[in-house]
Amino acid sequence: MILRRTVLLLLLLNLAAAAWWLWAGRARAPIAYTQAGVPTLHLLHEALPRATSHPSPAPVATAASAAAQCLSVGPFTTQAEMQQAFAALAMLVPRIQYRVAESAVSRGWWVYLTAPTREQALTMARALAAHGVRDYYVITAGEQQNSISLGLFQDPGNAQRREAQLRTLGFPAQLRQRVEQVPQYYIEFQQPATPGFTWQAHIAHADILHARTRACD
């Protein structure tokens, strides 16, 4: 009886040892054997390269933006006219500014006589009246004090005839153009990209103004 139990116990131990060795052999990592000169084999999924993502190239600009064009429009004779035109264009153009410039303007041709003192000016005035000259004026103050004005003419030809008349009567008349520095106003703006835009359609009396191109600062 004891012998039979002993044999049965040994048999169970052998079965347990065989099962352990079988399980341990399957769990081991496979060993790769290579031979010189023979290329290594790979599974199909190992041989395929992995897909890699590459960023798309940035789009290249194919056309440059159109060059800006700026204009200088004027001159406006009064500040009020310039302000009206400025307000009309301010909401339509990208940039706008105004400029004030001094300009010499002819105020006509002046015919006159000069005298060193007031008494001599009055004596000359009485002589003019004696020769039938009535349209004169004795200047009593200012830079032209003691001068006698004989007329202001817009037409230089009329002024020259007046001067010749006085000289014929024996009076040393003089002729001079009167020039005054007056402000003139200009509007400078950048033309918008709107097709068909014309600044003349938004400004009163645009036909008497001049426009010239200028650099866009």
The string of pLDDT tens digits covering residues 114-144 is 999 999 999 999 999 999 998 999 999 988 8
Which residue(s) pair with 70 in the sheet? 190, 214
Q: Which residue has the higher pLDDT, 217 or 57?
A: 217
Shared domain for 98 and 195, answered yes or no, is yes
Per-residue pLDDT band at 5 (split at 50, 70, 90): low
Span 20-52, pLDDT tens digits: 556 555 545 444 444 444 444 444 334 334 444
Residues of the chain above pLDDT 90, percent = 58
Q: Are residues 94 and 124 in the same domain?
A: no
145 alpha carbon, distance to own chain's centre: 51
In this structure, is residue 39 part of a structural domain? no
* Same-domain pairing of 189 and 159: no
- Residue ranges making up the domain that contains 149: 105-180
Containing 70, the helix (H) or strand (E) segment is strand 70-76
C-beta pairs of 79-87 under 8 Å, 24+ apart in sequence: 79/183, 79/185, 81/185, 81/204, 81/205, 82/185, 82/186, 82/187, 84/204, 85/187, 85/202, 85/203, 85/204, 86/187
The yes-or-no verdict on residue 99 having pLDDT over 50 is yes
> Based on the structure, what is the number of domains in the chain?
2
How many C-beta neighbours within 10 Å does residue 171 have? 19
The answer to whether the beta carbons of residues 94 and 129 sit under 8 Å apart is: no
Q: What is the CATH number of the domain that holds 144?
A: 3.30.70
- Shared-domain flag, residues 146 and 189: no
103: tokens are 């300009």
Examine residue 139 and state whether it is found in any structural domain, yes or no. Answer: yes
Read off the pTM. Answer: 0.48
Q: Whole-angstrom Cα distance, residue 171 to residue 159?
A: 15
Same domain (yes/no): 112, 209? no
Q: Do 145 and 86 reside in the same domain of the chain?
A: no
Kindly state whether residue 199 falls inside one of the protein's structural domains. yes
pLDDT value of position 53: 45
Residues 122 and 171 in one domain: yes
Residue 160 and residue 123 share a domain: yes
Pair (100, 117) in one structural domain? no
Q: For the sheet containing 137-138, what is the strand order? A: 137-138, 148-153, 96-113, 174-190, 70-76, 210-214
pLDDT digits (tens, 9 = 90+) for 147-159: 999 999 999 999 9
> What is the DSSP annotation of 6-39?
HHHHHHHHHHHHHHHHHHHHHHSPPPP---TTSP
Q: How many degrees, rounded to 5, is the angle at CA 146 between CA 143 and CA 150?
A: 95
Q: Which two tokens stand for residue 201?
A: 């359609």
pLDDT computed for residue 120 by the predictor: 94
